[in-house]
């Protein structure tokens, strides 16, 4: 199994424009809706600080073994994916994620996370649209258990 690229976030550069989340939801869901994105920008407005929550596609993901239906699993590229049609909506994956990067969309009753824009030849769209370079796509470091 090869572990290719990851999206890295530098929250110090983030300005909360939400271009990343809107592009993600538009690409995957066909509409611009922050709640349908596979990443989130958490805000501390008192200190004007942001935390970008995006799946790190860990080599040993804590979310995978806790899924009772095996709906979340790693593909041959090392990308952790949720297979929505197999998901029981129990939330165990979201609760186990140390990066808080699996999100429940209540209205759609679905769990969402970054899939590195699987199938998109140019890579992750969020990286492409970030106007300040807060998101970058880079090779996964060898030997690092992210």
Q: Is 128 helix (H, G, I), strand (E, B) or coil?
A: helix
β partners of residue 48: none
**69 secondary structure, DSSP code:** T
pLDDT (mean) for 85-91: 97
User: pTM of the full predicted structure?
Assistant: 0.88
pLDDT (mean) for 12-30: 96
Res 138: pLDDT: 82
What does the alpha-carbon distance between residue 133 and residue 82 come to, in Å, rounded to a whole number?
A: 27
Contact 41, 50 (CB under 8 A): yes
Best CA proximity match to 91, nearest among 110, 73, 115, 77:
110
pLDDT at residue 107 is higher than 60: yes
What does the alpha-carbon distance between residue 50 and residue 40 come to, in Å, rounded to a whole number?
A: 10
Best CA proximity match to 58, nearest among 129, 133, 1:
1
Res 141: pLDDT: 57
Instruction: Kindly indicate the confidence band of residue 66, based on its pLDDT and cuts at 50, 70 and 90.
Output: very high
Best CA proximity match to 51, nearest among 87, 99, 102:
99
The contacts of residue 67 (CB under 8 Å, 6+ apart) are 73, 87, 90, 92, 93
What does the alpha-carbon distance between residue 63 and residue 80 come to, in Å, rounded to a whole number?
A: 9
State the greatest distance between any 2 C-alpha atoms of the chain, in Å, as a whole number.
43
Question: Which domains, ranges and CATH numbers included, belong to the chain?
Answer: 5-134 (3.30.70.20)
Instruction: Kindly indicate the confidence band of residue 3, based on its pLDDT and cuts at 50, 70 and 90.
Output: low
């Amino acid at each position: 199994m090869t572990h290719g690229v990851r999206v890295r976030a530098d929250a110090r550069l983030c300005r909360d424009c939400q271009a990343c989340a809107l592009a993600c939801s538009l690409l995957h869901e066909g509409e611009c809706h922050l709640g349908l994105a596979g990443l989130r920008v958490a805000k501390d407005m008192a200190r004007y600080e942001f935390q970008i929550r995006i799946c790190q596609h860990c080599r040993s993901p804590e979310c995978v073994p806790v899924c009772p239906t095996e709906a979340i699993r790693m593909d041959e590229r090392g990308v952790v994916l949720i297979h929505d049609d197999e998901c029981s909506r129990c939330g165990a994956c979201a609760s186990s994620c140390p990066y808080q990067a699996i999100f429940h969309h209540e209205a759609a009753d679905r769990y969402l996370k970054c899939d590195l824009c699987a199938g998109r030849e140019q890579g992750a769209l969020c990286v492409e649209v970030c106007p300040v370079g807060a998101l970058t796509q880079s090779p996964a470091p060898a030997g690092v258990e992210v």
